[in-house]
Amino acid sequence: MREGLESRAARRRPWWAVLVLLGSSWTSVLVAQAPHGLVAYDFDGSAVETGPYTVMVFQDSRGSVGLNSVYRHSGERSVEIRDVAGDGDFAELQGFFPQLDTGTVYFRFALMTAEPEEALNVALAGASHFVLARDGIAFWLGTRDGEFVHYTAGAMQPLAEVRAFTWYEFEVIYRIDSGLYDLAVREEGHRAPLVSLSDQVNAVELEGSRVFKFSFIGDPPGFDTSEVRFYVDDIFVGADEVVEQAPFVAPGRRVLFVDLWDHYRQQAAADPSCLPALKPEDFGFDDGSLRRLLAADLMESYWALAERRNDRSAVPTEKLDSDLGRRLEGMSFWNRGCRATTRCRSDLCASDYFERAAQAVPEAKLYPMARVVALAREGRWEEADELWLAIYPDWRHDPRFPTVAAQLGLMAGDFEWVEETLELVADEEPTEHALLRRLWSGELSHELALELERAFPERWRDLVRNALLAEHRYYVLLWQGRLVEARTYAERSETRAERLQARTGPWIERQGDAAFWAGEVEDALRQYERALEAQPGTQSLYLKLSDVYFALGDLERERSYRELIYGRLGGD
């Protein structure tokens, strides 16, 4: 019986599919005019390139995401997503489009499941990702126990029964400003809509919740109970207004990694008072605290603080529990510290405000780094170095790291003496000492500093300072556009690391960075390949090698490295 259902599902085509919209067969239930397209995938023809501006595939462990030519809503292929319960991971197709801050979003897709009793989830979300918080999940559809459901006004609501191996067309019109959406569902073989709803409250119950990505997944991370196999086709996202988009400079990418670094450098130059916050975790908020903030109707207060529009004056204290209170208090201290970076106020310096923020919210990532920069501005270098060591592992691969390192280096003053000092270090340090090899290998941490203090009580601070200066000097040269000097400095640092019997991979990678920035692409390739040999499996090198191969016109190798990061939408 199941084989018969599968065979019929593969052959069917909905008879009303007569409107061709950006390559997808579709007839709108809710609108008469086609919106302005942002992204559209029918999964036919040429391959869909994965990347940060197209789609990303997660298919670790036993789950899978791939193209399928047996079951399709239109054309030649769809995407099959298989989830496996208990495998410790999840299978997901995630896609991206320009962030929409206002206006109307049109989201259309076709979906078919082989196991209606198994859970699957579809969502539109923003920068807070797939959580119930502002700019989190705006639209959330799923299957539960054989029914389609959607999450609206704070609860899952049933929509209709799900039939196996039956294509369903979904049309969502989400109005960002009001936080409301319309939803239409049609089952193949039926002219009338199976579901037609208007003015549904979005999943986060907030007006103005922005979106920029979609997700098709079995179980989300943390559940791992679904054995679903389902199919997705004819995905379309549009807007009511034309949205200007930067052109793609490489498959799946609108910027190369050097452009992203330069973006943060320009941000810091325009506003050096504080690093930009990237996500709620910077302020110590997790999913649970964000939900409580939402329930207390305090998301507007959160965003006022996050965007540095005011301090705590907008927070209604009567609504706060102690946990939310301390988190918002931390943001308030951070705001005050950002405004006090050039001078102390009322006997409190910027570093004092950031210290209070970190004490209030120890789990926040941003406050200790803000204090490091403030301490350096205040000339309190010993404290800055000690704190930098404590947080270094959490920041080493952050996209803001090069900017922070350059800022600290510039504040340190004249660097012309640094290389001479470091050469003396390489000649004098006993290479057999394991702690020094770890230090010069870039394994900076608070724990290593304590071990160095025990082993070298008289000069451990100088040892740490020298290692930090070596890195800062390189990023200062990049910041200043002195690329030939940066490359030469990285070469000498590699030689110094060899003499100290330390890891050379980071300095080889930095040679490649300087070469790429200078347009010496083939040289950058040689250095990145050397660096990958010295430190295999390094994600940052996969991205850089992909960019380099694209610049060289080798699209096969460009794809192979890019797909190590963003996954591959392969299959039949």
Q: Which of 378, 401, 433 is the last residue of a domain?
A: 378
CA of 308: how far to CAs of 158, 211, 272, 275, 393, in Å?
41, 22, 14, 11, 27
Count CB-CB contacts under 10 A for residue 146. Answer: 14
Residues 494 and 373 in one domain: no
pLDDT in tens, 10-46: 433 332 222 233 334 445 656 656 688 999 999 987 6
Which residue in 151, 186, 152 sits closest to 171, CA to CA?
186
Range of the domain at 475: 381-503
Rounded to whole angstroms, the Cα distance separating 224 from 254 reads 34
Residues 435 and 511 in one domain: no
Question: Could you tell me the CATH number of the domain that includes residue 548?
Answer: 1.25.40.10
Burial of 101-117, coded b for 16+ CB within 10 Å and e otherwise, reads: eeebbbbbbbbbbbbbe
Phi, psi for residue 341 in degrees, rounded to 5: -70, -25
CA of 510: how far to CAs of 86, 153, 235, 428, in Å?
41, 50, 40, 25
* pTM listed for this prediction: 0.75
CA of 58: how far to CAs of 92, 150, 563, 566, in Å?
5, 23, 11, 8
Which range, 15-24, 288-297, 434-443, 534-543, is most confident?
Answer: 534-543
Whether 402 has a pLDDT exceeding 90, the answer reads: no
Residues 198 and 304 in one domain: no
Residues 231 and 152 in one domain: yes
Whether 6 has a pLDDT exceeding 60, the answer reads: no
Within a domain: 360: yes
Mean pLDDT across the stretch 61-82? 91
Q: 104-113 and 229-239: which strand pairing?
A: antiparallel
Say which amino acid occupies 98.
P
Maximum CA extent, the chain: 83
Q: Which of 503, 528, 556 is the last residue of a domain?
A: 503
Rounded to whole angstroms, the Cα distance separating 298 from 34 reads 37
Look at residue 16 in the predicted model and tell me its pLDDT: 26
For every residue of 530-565, which 3-state class applies, written as one string? HHHHHCCCCHHHHHHHHHHHHHHCCHHHHHHHHHHH
Whether 464 has a pLDDT exceeding 90, the answer reads: no
Residues 141 and 25 in one domain: yes
Binned at pLDDT 50, 70 and 90, residue 508 comes out as very high
Look at residue 69 in the predicted model and tell me its pLDDT: 92
Mean pLDDT across the stretch 389-410? 85
Mean pLDDT across the stretch 354-358? 95
Look at residue 552 in the predicted model and tell me its pLDDT: 94
Those residues whose C-beta lies under 8 Å from the C-beta of residue 114, and which sit 6 or more positions away, are 6, 164, 165, 228, 229, 230, 231
Total domains in the fold of the chain:
4
**Is the dihedral angle over the CA atoms 247, 250, 251, 257 positive or is it negative?**
negative
Look at residue 417 in the predicted model and tell me its pLDDT: 58
Which residue in 306, 514, 283, 275 sits closest to 407, CA to CA?
275
Mean pLDDT across the stretch 525-548? 94
The whole-chain average pLDDT of the chain stands at 84
Whether 328 has a pLDDT exceeding 70, the answer reads: yes
Look at residue 252 in the predicted model and tell me its pLDDT: 86
Residues 454 and 396 in one domain: yes
Residues 161 and 35 in one domain: yes
Look at residue 524 in the predicted model and tell me its pLDDT: 96
Residues 110 and 217 in one domain: yes
Which residue in 137, 143, 103 sits closest to 120, CA to CA?
143
Say whether 85 sits in a helix, a strand or coil. coil
Look at residue 306 in the predicted model and tell me its pLDDT: 87
Question: Could you tell me the CATH number of the domain that includes residue 149?
Answer: 2.60.120.200
Which range, 71-80, 123-132, 253-262, is most confident?
Answer: 71-80
Mean pLDDT across the stretch 481-492? 92
Percentage of the chain beyond pLDDT 70 is 86
Residues 116 and 205 in one domain: yes
Look at residue 394 in the predicted model and tell me its pLDDT: 85
Within a domain: 157: yes
Residues 404 and 433 in one domain: yes
pLDDT in tens, 186-239: 999 898 999 999 999 999 898 999 999 999 999 876 677 899 999 999 999 999
Rounded to whole angstroms, the Cα distance separating 502 from 498 reads 6
pLDDT in tens, 111-163: 999 999 999 999 999 988 888 888 889 999 999 999 999 999 889 999 999 99
Least confident of 26-30, 327-331, 396-400, 528-532: 26-30
Look at residue 163 in the predicted model and tell me its pLDDT: 96
Residues 513 and 498 in one domain: no
Look at residue 424 in the predicted model and tell me its pLDDT: 60
DSSP 8-state assignment for residue 280: G
Residues 351 and 483 in one domain: no
Whether 178 has a pLDDT exceeding 50, the answer reads: yes
